Amino acid sequence: MNYFIPIAVFFLTLAACNQPKTSQSEQEGKPLSDSLRIDSITQLIRENPRKSEFYSNRADIYLELGNLASAMNDLTIANRLDSLNPIYYIKLADFYLQLGKSETINSLLLKGNKLIPNNKEILYRLGNLYFYIQDYKKALTYLNQATELDPFYAQAFFTKGLVFIETGNIPKAITSLQIAVDREPDYYDAYMQLGLLFAAKSDSLAVAYYNNALRIIPDSYEALYAKAMFYQQTKKLDQAIATYQYLLNEVSNEFPYVHFNLGYIEMTYYGEYERAIAYYDSALIYNPIFPDALCNRAFCYEKTGKKEEARANYMKALEQSPNYPLAIKGLNRLDGK
């Protein structure tokens, strides 16, 4: 399961009194070109070289343009000019997280926490960092400090929930995630995690959480697929098929695992082998490297007496995944072993 936390990027706006003179293109409603945007802030920096916010704003433009080296340089200067401004520690930490430099982030945030104690954003990022490097005890220490400072800090409660999932404390995970959605009713990721936790217990509350996720992102493949899988695993096959078909008809027809699961239902629960083969055909169109689909299609060919087609599919599955158990068992059956 992927628990990567989206990285928040913070943008500062220039104070109105420090804005560069409005150009004719802006007066006419046309946006400035990238080079003009950079040039206008660079001019402000020349006139006010000690103003940290100008470096920060130029860094935002560099990040937008993918110029990471220049962005990091400007953020570092901004941080040096105003070492008591938490936003620069936060932006640098978010930047280094994209590069996977956990030691640099740790050093930076610990320095920020020492200079600016009791800043919830810095504490949250420390907790998030230690979650990322799997030091769950330290993660909880900082996340608890963040939520003590701000009991409505939904993101911190969400990450606490992920920590409890990783450490196997599911009741506390559920509690933390429920607090997160109570604090932020449109917290899509928290609803998805709650849905997965209740689905693992075959609890129908999973559907309610998936529906809340779909309220926020109505055609989310992730939420619709998880909902359909829950119906399939709890043998509510009509609802499963309807949800899978909605995905194919209303979202996209190009989801190989949706075709595969429909084939599996037709094969396993209804014995409709020809219909199952058609679904496996579709799955393999959209994902040609799919040994499970090849083996299941081969099994359907076995059941309909097409032994050569079955053999060809098992052999192809072995080409894609050598020593694949299902393919070996299938060939052994065909050879009477």
pLDDT band at 336 (very low <50, low <70, confident <90, very high): confident
Q: Which residue has better confidence, 149 or 71?
A: 149
Based on the number of CB atoms within 10 Å of its own CB, is 244 exposed (0-12), middle (13-18) or buried (19 or more)? Answer: buried
- Res 32: pLDDT: 59
Based on the number of CB atoms within 10 Å of its own CB, is 210 exposed (0-12), middle (13-18) or buried (19 or more)? Answer: buried
- Res 97: pLDDT: 76
C-beta neighbour count of 154 within 10 angstroms: 20
- Res 276: pLDDT: 98
Based on the number of CB atoms within 10 Å of its own CB, is 164 exposed (0-12), middle (13-18) or buried (19 or more)? Answer: buried
Beta-strand ranges (E) seen in 42-130 are none
Q: Which long-range contacts (CB under 8 A, 24 or more apart) does 255-260 make?
A: 255/221, 255/225, 255/286, 256/282, 256/283, 256/284, 256/286, 256/287, 256/290, 256/293, 257/225, 257/283, 258/225, 258/228, 259/283, 259/286, 260/290, 260/292, 260/293, 260/296
CB under 8 Å to 264, separation ≥6 — which residues?
A: 276, 296
Average pLDDT, the chain: 88
- Res 337: pLDDT: 67
CA angle 13, 17, 22 (to 5 degrees): 80
Which whole number is the average pLDDT over 177-196?
Answer: 98
Q: Which long-range contacts (CB under 8 A, 24 or more apart) does 172-179 make?
A: 173/197, 179/154
Lookup: tokens for 110: 């610990």
Compute the Cα dihedral for 278, 279, 283, 286 and give only its sign. Answer: positive
DSSP result, 169-217: -HHHHHHHHHHHHHH-TT-HHHHHHHHHHHHHTT-THHHHHHHHHHHHS
Render pLDDT for 193-248 as a digit per residue (tens, 0 to 9). Answer: 999 999 999 999 999 999 999 999 999 999 999 999 999 999 999 999 999 999 99
Longest C-alpha distance within the chain, in Å? 86
The whole-angstrom separation of Cα 216 and Cα 87 is 29
Angstrom CA distances, 197 to 44, 174, 201, 228, stand at 52, 8, 7, 15
In the chain, what are the domains? 1-117 (1.25.40.10), 253-337 (1.25.40.10)
The whole-angstrom separation of Cα 324 and Cα 315 is 10
Tokens 């619709």 identify what position? 224
Measured in residues, the chain has a length of 337
Render pLDDT for 33-63 as a digit per residue (tens, 0 to 9). Answer: 788 888 888 888 888 889 888 888 898 888 8
Render pLDDT for 252-305 as a digit per residue (tens, 0 to 9). Answer: 999 999 999 999 999 999 999 999 999 999 999 999 999 999 999 999 999 999
- Is a pLDDT exceeding 70 seen at residue 14? no
CB 295 within 8 A of CB 327: yes
Which whole number is the average pLDDT over 60-68?
Answer: 85
Compute the Cα dihedral for 197, 199, 205, 208 and give only its sign. Answer: positive
CA angle 103, 108, 112 (to 5 degrees): 145
